[in-house]
C-alpha cells in the first residue's frame, strides 16, 4: 500500500536524520560551578567541620538557542509526505509516527541531562547533598529543555505541520508532554518540602530560572490545549516563591535561636558568625529576586532594624527590602552573640569574644558584595562597637594591674624596700595570672591581635617601666622577677590561642 | 450543645455523607457503568467532597495543640505520609490516561478506515493494522512498555508485518516513569500497611473520621490504578482490611469487592485497565479484527452489517473518551493539588500545636 510505504519512508527519514544532527551546544553544568560551602545551622555549636558543596552560578547568558533537530534539506521532503498523507486522510498515521520519533528524540536528550526519575516520596525523603545536586540539575535542565530543545521542536513542528491547523500544536504538546511533566513534578515536590535554611540558594536558582522561562512557556503553549501547562508552571512559580520566603524566614529563626550550652573556647570567631556572614555574602547575587519576594515582608522588618538608614548616607541599596532583612539578620546574630558571651565567667573574655566577632562581621561586610547594602554608616557604627569592646577588655584586665604600680605618694622620693617588694610581687602575681589565663585566648585576626598587643603594651609596659624608673635603688634586687623586656616579650604570647605557663616560657628564655 | 457533642454530631454527619455518596456510586445509571470515564469523574468528586468535610471537622475552630497529643501525634503524620504516596499515584494515573488516549487515537484510525460505504480492501487493511496496534497496546504488560530500549523500537506500521517487539516499541506513552523500580501496586500496598480501625473509645472520637478518610483515599487511588494502566500494577492487592461492621463502609466495601473480582478475572488474561471504555473497546476490536482478517471486497453482507454496528459502537466509546479523558486528567490534577494543600494545612497545624507556649 502506498500509504504504508510513505509512512515507512517518513519514519526512516526522521530517525536517520535525527541521529545526525545532535546539537553541538551542550555545555555541562559542572563547568559553571563555584565551590562554596553549605552546612546546616542546627548543629553548629563547637563544630568545626564544614562540607564544601558546589553551587551553580546560574548564568543568565543561556538564552534561546534554536538548533536544527533535523537537517534543513530534509524538511521539504517531510512536508511533502505530510501533504500527501493528510490529503489521503492518513493524517492520523502521520501524526502518530511523527510524534513517536520526535518524542523519543526529546526524551533521549532529557536522559543525557541525567535527571534522576524521582517520586515525590523520594524527593521529600532525600538528604541534603543529593537533593542539592538534583536541584542544580533541574535548574540546568529547565534551561536546556525549554530554551533549546522545545524551542527547536516547536519550530520543526511549525515547519512540517504549520498548514494543518490545530494538528500542529497538538503534536507539539504530545511530543513535549512527558518531559515537561517530569520537570514539573520535581519542581512541585521541592515546593512541597520542608524549607530549611540551607535550601535557600538552590531555591533561588530554581525560582529565577523558572521566572525567566515562564514567558517562553507561555509562548510555546499558547493554544488552548496547552493551557494546563501554562497554568501548572505559573502555579509552580508561586510555590517556589513561597518556598524562598519560607527558607529565608527559617534562616532568620535559625540565627536567632541557635543556642549554646557551653562558652566557645578561646573566645575566637564563633562558627555561627562564620556561617551567617559567609551565607549572606552570597545573597547580593540574588538581589533582584530577593527584593521582589521579600517586599511584602519589608514593612515589619524595617521597624525591627535598629539602625535605620535615613540621612545623607542612605541610598537605594541600603534601603531596599533585602538590605533591611540583611541588617535584621546581622542584628539577630549580634543579640545571639551577646547571649553567648554571657556564658563566659570572665568578663574580659566576654569582651574579647564580642570584639572578635563584631570585627569579623565588619570585615566580611567590607570585603564582599554586602558593602553597598550595609552602607558606611553601619560599618562606622560597628567599628565603634568592637573598638568599645577592645577598650572594655583593657579596662577590665589591666586597670587593676596597672593600679598596683601606681605611685601612692607622688612627689616623695622612692619607696621603701618593703613597699617596693610588695608592689613588685603584687604586679608579678597579677601579671602571671593574666598570662596564664589569656595565652589560651584567641584573636584570629592578625591585625586586631597586633593592635591589641600594642595598645596593651603601651599601657602596661609603660607603667612598669615608669614604676621601676621611679625606684632606681631597688632595680638590682632579686625581688624583681621580670624585667621590662621580659614583660614586653611575654605580652606577645597573649591571644595566641595556646595556653602557657610562665615556667615554660622562663625556661625558654633562659636557653 | 457543648463542643464535644457538636463534634460527635459532625462526625456522624460526615460518615453518613460518606455512606450516601458511596451508595450512589454503587448503583450508577446506564451511561455511567462502574469504572467508566464518567464514573471515575464522580469518584473523584466524591473524594473531593469527603476531603473537604474531613478537613473542616479536623481543623476548623480547633485548638492545634489538641492534634499534637496522642493518638493524633501518630495518626496525623501517618495520614500525611499516605497522602504523599497518593500524590505519586495521581501522577502515575494521570500519565496512564495518556496511554488510554493513545488507544483512543488508534481507534480513531480504525473508525476512519471502516466508516466507509462501500468498504474496500484498502480500508480493511488499514483498519487491521490499527486494530493490531490497538489490541497489543491494550494488552501490553505495564512492565514491558517501560523497559523497551530505543534501539529496539521501530516506528513502522509497515508491510513487514507487526510482531510483538515492534509493537512494544510503539507503546510510547508508558515511557514516563514515576521513578525507577516504582510500583503502583506496591505503593497501594504500603498505603494499606498499618491501617488499623480505631477501637474502643477512639472509635467514637476524632480517630474515626481519620480512619474513614484514610480508607477513602486508599480506595480511590486503588480504583484509579485498577482502571487505568500505569506503572507496574502486578500484584495489586485485592483485599482491604476494612471491618464489615462499620456502617458507613458497606457501599464502599461492596464496590471494592466488585472491582476486585473483575481484577482477578482480568489478571489472568492480560493487564489492560479495567476502565469500562477500554474493556468494551477491546471486545469490539477483537470482533473487528476477525472481520478485517477475513474481508474481501465486497464481503459478506451480514458480516459487513455487523461490523458497521461495531464501528458505530466504537464511535460512541471514542466520543466518550474524547470528551472525558482530558478532563479526567485535569480532575486528577485537581485532586493532586487538593491533597498537596491539605497536607500543608495539616503540617501547619502540627507545627502550631507543638510550638512551645512562650
Average pLDDT of B8-26? 89
Q: Grid coordinates representing B5? A: 457533642
User: Are A78 and A168 in a shared domain?
Assistant: yes
Name, in order, each residue with C-beta under 8 angstroms of A430's C-beta and a sequence gap of 6 or more. Answer: A400, A401, A404
Determine the pLDDT at residue B149. 33
Q: Which helix (H) or strand (E) holds A505?
A: helix A502-510
Cβ–Cβ < 8 Å for B229, B93: no
Q: Tell whether A257 lies on the interface with B, counting CB pairs under 8 A.
A: no
Q: Which helix (H) or strand (E) holds B294?
A: helix B276-294
- Chain B residues touching residue A89 (CB < 8 angstroms): 112
State whether residue A96 is helix, strand or coil: helix
- Chain B residues touching residue A170 (CB < 8 angstroms): none
User: Are A283 and A311 in a shared domain?
Assistant: yes
Whether A92 and B105 lie within 8 Å, measured CB to CB: yes
Shortest CA distance from A14: residue in chain B: B155
Measure the N-to-C terminal CA separation of chain A; round to a whole number of Å.
107
Where is pLDDT greater, at A365 or A74?
A365
Q: Tell whether B146 lies on the interface with A, counting CB pairs under 8 A.
A: no
Which residue reads 486503588 in cell numbers?
Answer: B222
Q: Is A44 inside any structural domain?
A: no
Q: Is A55 inside any structural domain?
A: no
Average pLDDT of A239-243? 95
Least confident range of A14-23, A202-211, A264-273, A444-453: A14-23
Shortest CA distance from A236: residue in chain B: B337
For a pLDDT cut of 70, what percent of chain A falls above it? 78
- Chain A residues touching residue B159 (CB < 8 angstroms): 1, 4-5, 8
Determine the pLDDT at residue A460. 87
Least confident range of A416-430, A443-457, B39-53, B104-118: A416-430
Q: Which residues of B300-335 are buried (b: 16+ CB within 10 A; e: fewer)?
A: eeeebeebbebbeebbebbebbeebbeebbebbbbb
Instruction: Answer yes or no: is pLDDT of A46 > 50.
Output: no
3-state secondary structure A208-262: HHHHHHHHHHHHHCCCHHHHHHHHHHHHHHHHHHHHHHHHHHHHHHHHHHCCCCC
Q: Tell whether B330 lies on the interface with A, counting CB pairs under 8 A.
A: yes
Cβ–Cβ < 8 Å for B306, B258: no
Cβ count near A122 (within 10 Å): 20
Q: Which of B95, B179, B330 to mutate to test the interface with A (most CBs of A within 10 A)?
A: B179
Q: Which residues of B240-275 are buried (b: 16+ CB within 10 A; e: fewer)?
A: bebeeebebbbbbbebbeebbebbeeeeeeebbbbb
User: Are A251 and A267 in a shared domain?
Assistant: no
**CB interface of A with B, residues 436-495, below 8 Å:** none
Least confident range of A414-423, B22-31, B137-146: B137-146
Q: Which of B88, B175, B330 sits opposite A120 (nearest CB)?
A: B88
Q: Which helix (H) or strand (E) holds A52?
A: strand A52-56
Q: Is A509 inside any structural domain?
A: no
Q: Is A227 inside any structural domain?
A: yes
Backbone angles phi, psi at A53, to 5 degrees: -140, 155
* 8-state DSSP, A479: T
Least confident range of A335-349, B22-36, B341-355: B22-36
Determine the pLDDT at residue A419. 78
Determine the pLDDT at residue A389. 94
**CB interface of A with B, residues 411-440, below 8 Å:** none
User: Are A221 and A363 in a shared domain?
Assistant: no
CA distance A454 to A457: 5
Determine the pLDDT at residue A297. 67
Selection from B227, B212, B232, B207 nearest residue B38 by Cα = B227
Measured CA distances, A451 to A347, A443, A495, A497, B217 (Å): 20, 11, 12, 16, 69
Where is pLDDT greater, at B229 or A67?
B229
Per-residue pLDDT tens digits for A389-435: 999 999 999 888 888 877 666 656 566 777 778 888 888 888 888 88
CATH at residue A440: 1.20.1280.170
User: Are A279 and A219 in a shared domain?
Assistant: no
- Chain B residues touching residue A11 (CB < 8 angstroms): 154-156
Cβ count near A211 (within 10 Å): 15
Greatest mean pLDDT among A197-211, B58-72, B153-167, B243-257: A197-211
Determine the pLDDT at residue A19. 46
Per-residue pLDDT tens digits for B44-82: 999 999 999 999 998 887 888 888 888 888 899 999 999
Where is pLDDT greater, at A232 or B246?
A232
CA–chain centroid gap for A229, Å, is 33
Cβ–Cβ < 8 Å for A326, A280: yes
Determine the pLDDT at residue A337. 95
Q: Is A324 inside any structural domain?
A: yes
Average pLDDT of B76-91? 94
Determine the pLDDT at residue B356. 65
Selection from A273, A391, A259, A398 nearest residue A330 by Cα = A273
A490 pLDDT band, cuts 50/70/90, is confident
CA distance A290 to A241: 10
Q: Tell whether B341 lies on the interface with A, counting CB pairs under 8 A.
A: no
Mean pLDDT (chain B, rounded): 81
CA distance A294 to A257: 21
Instruction: Answer yes or no: is pLDDT of A202 > 50.
Output: yes
Whether B105 and A96 lie within 8 Å, measured CB to CB: yes
- Chain B residues touching residue A238 (CB < 8 angstroms): none
Per 3-state DSSP, chain A is made up of helix, strand and coil in percentages (nearest 5) of 70, 0, 25
Average pLDDT of B24-42? 83
Whether A3 and B91 lie within 8 Å, measured CB to CB: no
Shortest CA distance from B176: residue in chain A: A178
A342 pLDDT band, cuts 50/70/90, is very high
Which residue reads 621580659 in cell numbers?
Answer: A486
Determine the pLDDT at residue A279. 95
Determine the pLDDT at residue A413. 59
Whether A178 and B175 lie within 8 Å, measured CB to CB: yes
A49 pLDDT band, cuts 50/70/90, is very low
User: Are A219 and A159 in a shared domain?
Assistant: yes
Instruction: Answer yes or no: is pLDDT of B12 > 70.
Output: yes
Instruction: Answer yes or no: is pLDDT of A18 > 50.
Output: yes
Measured in angstroms, the CA of A182 and the nearest CA of chain B are apart by 8
CA distance B299 to B288: 14
Selection from A260, A408, A283 nearest residue A337 by Cα = A260
User: Are A303 and A288 in a shared domain?
Assistant: yes
User: Are A129 and A235 in a shared domain?
Assistant: yes
State whether residue A263 is helix, strand or coil: coil
CA distance A122 to A137: 16
Angle, CA A303 vertex, CA A299 and CA A308 arms, to 5°: 110
Whether A15 and B155 lie within 8 Å, measured CB to CB: yes
What total number of domains does chain A contain? 3
Per-residue pLDDT tens digits for A347-404: 999 999 999 999 999 999 999 999 999 999 999 999 999 999 999 999 999 888 888 8
State whether residue B160 is helix, strand or coil: coil
Name, in order, each residue with C-beta under 8 angstroms of A137's C-beta and a sequence gap of 6 or more. Answer: A29, A113, A114, A115, A116
Q: How many CB pairs under 8 A join A and B?
A: 87
Measured in angstroms, the CA of A98 and the nearest CA of chain B are apart by 9
Least confident range of A47-56, A140-149, A199-208: A47-56
Q: Which residues of A60-96 are buried (b: 16+ CB within 10 A; e: fewer)?
A: eebeeeebebbeeebbeebeebbeebbeeebbbbbbb
Cβ count near A55 (within 10 Å): 19
CA distance A123 to A333: 32
Whether A100 and B170 lie within 8 Å, measured CB to CB: yes
Per-residue pLDDT tens digits for A255-312: 999 988 899 998 899 999 999 999 999 999 999 999 999 987 655 555 444 444 444 4
Shortest CA distance from B96: residue in chain A: A178
User: Are A197 and A289 in a shared domain?
Assistant: no
User: Are A278 and A193 in a shared domain?
Assistant: no
What is the maximal distance between C-alpha atoms in chain B? 89
Range of the domain at A104: 2-30+60-255
Selection from B271, B166, B165, B272 nearest residue A97 by Cα = B166
Selection from B348, B291, B349, B284 nearest residue B123 by Cα = B291
B271 pLDDT band, cuts 50/70/90, is low
Determine the pLDDT at residue A408. 67
Selection from A80, A86, A93, A97 nearest residue A159 by Cα = A80
Measured CA distances, B54 to B7, B49, B176, B245, B342 (Å): 12, 9, 33, 21, 10
ipTM of the modeled complex? 0.86
Selection from A358, A367, A303 nearest residue A335 by Cα = A358
Instruction: Verify cis geometry, omega within 30 degrees of 0, for the bond prior to A420.
Output: no
Shortest CA distance from B87: residue in chain A: A120
User: Are A443 and A376 in a shared domain?
Assistant: no
Q: Is A48 inside any structural domain?
A: no
Q: Grid coordinates representing B340? A: 498537596
Determine the pLDDT at residue A503. 60
Whether A104 and B150 lie within 8 Å, measured CB to CB: yes
Per-residue pLDDT tens digits for B126-136: 888 888 888 88
Q: Which of B155, B175, B340 sits opposite A192 (nearest CB)?
A: B340
A52, β-bridge pairs: A37
Per-residue pLDDT tens digits for B291-338: 888 877 777 888 888 888 989 999 999 999 999 999 999 999 999 999
Q: Is A369 inside any structural domain?
A: yes
The rounded radius of gyration (Å) of the Cα atoms in chain B is: 24
Least confident range of A212-216, A411-415, B283-287: A411-415
For a pLDDT cut of 90, what percent of chain B falls above it? 27
CA distance A23 to A12: 20
Q: Is A50 inside any structural domain?
A: no
**CB interface of A with B, residues 183-242, below 8 Å:** 185, 188, 192, 228, 232, 235
Determine the pLDDT at residue A411. 58
Determine the pLDDT at residue B273. 81
User: Are A483 and A454 in a shared domain?
Assistant: yes
Q: Which of A255, A278, A307 is the last residue of a domain?
A: A255
Q: Which of A237, A255, A273 is the last residue of a domain?
A: A255
Per-residue pLDDT tens digits for B148-203: 333 333 333 433 333 433 433 444 444 567 777 788 888 898 999 888 888 877 77
Per 3-state DSSP, chain B is made up of helix, strand and coil in percentages (nearest 5) of 75, 0, 25
A17 pLDDT band, cuts 50/70/90, is low
Determine the pLDDT at residue B245. 79
Cβ–Cβ < 8 Å for A445, A362: no
By residue count, chain A amounts to 511
Q: For chain B, what are the domain ranges?
A: 3-25+71-141+177-345
Determine the pLDDT at residue A26. 38
The rounded radius of gyration (Å) of the Cα atoms in chain A is: 35
Angle formed by the axes of helices A2-20 and A91-112, nearest 10° = 20
Amino acid at each position: 500500500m502506498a500509504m504504508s510505504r510513505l509512512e515507512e519512508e517518513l519514519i526512516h527519514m526522521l530517525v536517520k536524520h535525527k541521529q545526525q544532527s545532535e546539537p553541538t551546544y551542550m555545555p555541562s553544568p559542572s563547568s559553571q560551578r563555584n565551590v562554596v560551602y553549605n552546612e546546616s545551622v542546627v548543629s553548629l555549636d563547637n563544630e568545626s567541620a564544614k562540607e564544601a558543596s558546589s553551587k551553580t552560578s546560574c548564568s543568565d547568558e543561556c538564552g534561546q538557542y534554536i538548533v536544527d533537530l533535523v537537517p534543513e534539506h530534509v524538511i521539504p521532503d517531510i512536508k511533502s509526505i505530510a501533504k500527501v498523507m493528510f490529503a489521503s486522510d492518513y493524517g492520523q498515521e502521520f501524526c502518530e509516527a511523527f510524534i513517536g520519533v520526535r518524542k523519543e528524540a526529546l526524551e533521549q536528550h532529557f536522559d543525557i541531562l541525567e535527571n534522576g526519575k524521582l517520586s515525590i516520596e523520594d524527593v521529600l525523603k532525600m538528604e541534603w547533598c543529593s537533593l542539592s545536586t538534583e536541584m542544580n540539575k533541574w535548574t540546568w535542565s529547565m534551561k536546556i529543555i525549554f530554551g533549546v530543545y522545545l524551542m527547536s521542536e516547536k519550530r520543526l513542528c511549525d515547519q512540517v505541520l504549520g498548514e494543518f491547523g490545530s494538528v500542529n500544536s497538538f503534536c507539539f504538546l504530545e511530543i513535549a508532554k512527558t518531559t515537561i511533566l517530569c520537570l514539573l513534578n520535581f519542581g512541585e515536590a521541592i515546593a512541597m518540602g520542608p524549607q530549611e535554611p540551607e535550601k535557600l540558594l538552590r531555591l533561588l536558582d530554581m525560582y529565577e530560572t523558572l521566572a525567566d522561562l515562564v514567558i517562553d512557556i507561555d509562548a510555546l503553549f499558547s493554544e488552548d490545549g496547552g493551557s494546563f501547562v501554562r497554568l501548572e508552571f505559573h502555579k509552580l512559580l508561586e510555590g517556589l516563591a513561597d518556598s524562598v520566603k519560607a527558607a529565608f524566614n527559617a534562616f532568620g529563626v535559625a540565627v536567632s535561636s541557635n543556642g549554646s550550652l557551653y562558652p566557645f573556647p578561646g573566645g575566637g570567631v564563633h562558627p555561627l558568625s562564620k556561617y551567617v556572614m559567609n551565607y549572606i555574602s552570597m545573597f547580593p547575587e540574588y538581589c533582584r529576586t530577593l527584593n521582589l519576594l521579600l517586599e511584602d515582608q519589608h514593612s515589619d522588618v524595617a521597624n525591627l532594624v535598629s539602625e535605620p538608614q535615613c540621612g545623607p548616607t542612605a541610598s537605594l541599596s541600603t534601603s531596599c527590602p533585602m538590605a533591611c532583612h540583611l541588617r535584621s539578620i546581622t542584628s539577630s546574630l549580634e543579640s545571639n552573640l551577646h547571649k553567648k558571651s554571657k556564658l563566659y565567667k570572665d568578663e574580659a573574655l566576654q569582651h574579647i569574644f564580642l570584639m572578635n566577632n563584631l570585627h569579623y562581621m565588619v570585615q566580611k561586610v567590607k570585603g564582599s558584595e554586602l558593602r553597598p547594602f550595609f552602607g558606611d554608616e553601619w560599618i562606622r557604627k560597628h567599628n565603634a562597637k568592637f573598638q568599645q569592646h577592645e577598650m572594655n577588655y583593657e579596662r577590665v584586665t589591666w586597670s587593676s594591674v596597672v593600679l598596683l604600680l601606681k605611685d601612692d605618694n607622688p612627689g616623695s622620693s622612692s619607696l621603701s624596700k618593703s613597699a617596693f617588694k610588695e608592689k613588685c610581687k603584687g604586679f608579678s602575681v597579677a601579671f602571671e595570672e593574666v598570662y596564664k589565663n589569656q595565652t589560651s585566648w584567641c584573636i584570629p585576626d592578625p591585625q586586631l591581635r597586633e593592635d591589641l598587643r600594642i595598645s596593651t603594651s603601651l599601657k602596661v609596659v609603660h607603667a612598669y617601666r615608669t614604676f621601676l624608673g621611679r625606684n632606681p635603688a631597688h632595680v638590682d634586687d632579686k625581688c624583681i622577677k621580670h624585667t621590662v623586656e621580659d614583660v614586653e616579650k611575654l605580652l606577645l604570647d597573649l591571644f595566641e590561642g595556646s595556653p602557657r605557663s610562665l615556667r615554660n616560657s622562663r625556661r625558654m628564655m633562659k636557653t | 450543645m457543648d463542643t464535644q457533642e457538636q463534634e460527635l454530631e459532625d462526625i456522624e454527619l460526615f460518615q453518613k455523607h460518606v455512606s450516601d455518596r458511596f451508595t450512589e456510586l454503587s448503583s450508577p445509571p446506564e451511561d455511567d457503568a462502574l469504572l467508566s470515564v464518567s464514573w471515575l469523574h464522580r469518584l473523584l468528586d466524591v473524594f473531593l467532597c469527603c476531603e473537604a468535610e474531613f478537613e473542616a471537622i479536623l481543623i476548623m475552630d480547633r485548638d492545634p495543640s489538641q492534634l499534637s497529643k496522642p493518638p493524633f501525634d501518630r495518626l496525623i503524620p501517618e495520614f500525611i505520609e499516605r497522602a504523599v504516596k497518593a500524590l505519586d499515584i495521581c501522577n502515575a494515573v494521570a500519565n496512564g490516561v495518556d496511554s488510554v488516549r493513545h488507544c483512543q487515537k488508534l481507534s480513531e484510525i480504525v473508525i476512519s478506515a471502516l466508516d466507509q460505504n462501500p468498504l474496500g480492501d484498502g480500508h480493511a487493511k488499514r483498519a487491521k493494522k490499527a486494530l493490531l496496534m490497538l489490541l497489543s497496546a491494550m494488552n501490553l504488560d505495564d512492565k514491558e512498555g517501560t523497559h523497551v530500549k530505543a534501539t529496539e523500537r521501530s516506528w513502522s506500521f509497515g508491510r513487514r508485518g507487526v510482531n510483538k517487539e515492534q509493537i512494544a516499541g510503539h507503546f510510547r506513552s508508558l515511557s514516563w516513569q514515576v521513578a525507577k523500580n516504582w510500583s503502583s501496586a506496591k505503593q497501594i500496598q504500603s498505603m494499606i500497611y498499618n491501617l488499623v480501625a480505631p477501637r474502643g473509645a477512639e472509635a467514637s472520637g476524632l480517630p474515626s473520621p481519620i480512619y474513614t478518610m484514610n480508607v477513602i483515599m486508599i480506595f480511590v487511588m486503588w480504583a484509579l490504578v485498577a482502571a487505568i494502566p500505569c506503572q507496574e500494577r502486578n500484584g495489586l492487592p485485592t483485599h482491604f482490611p476494612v471491618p464489615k461492621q462499620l456502617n458507613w463502609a458497606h457501599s464502599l466495601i461492596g464496590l471494592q469487592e466488585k472491582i476486585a473480582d473483575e481484577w482477578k478475572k482480568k489478571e489472568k488474561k492480560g493487564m489492560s485497565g479495567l476502565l469500562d471504555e477500554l474493556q468494551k473497546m477491546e471486545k469490539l476490536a477483537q470482533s473487528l479484527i476477525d472481520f478485517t482478517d477475513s474481508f474481501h471486497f465486497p464481503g459478506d453482507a451480514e458480516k459487513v452489517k455487523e461490523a458497521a454496528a461495531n464501528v458505530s459502537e466504537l464511535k460512541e466509546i471514542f466520543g466518550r473518551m474524547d470528551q472525558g479523558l482530558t478532563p479526567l486528567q485535569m480532575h486528577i490534577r485537581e485532586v493532586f493539588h487538593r491533597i498537596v494543600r491539605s497536607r500543608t494545612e495539616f503540617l501547619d497545624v502540627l507545627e502550631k500545636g507543638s510550638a512551645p507556649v512562650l
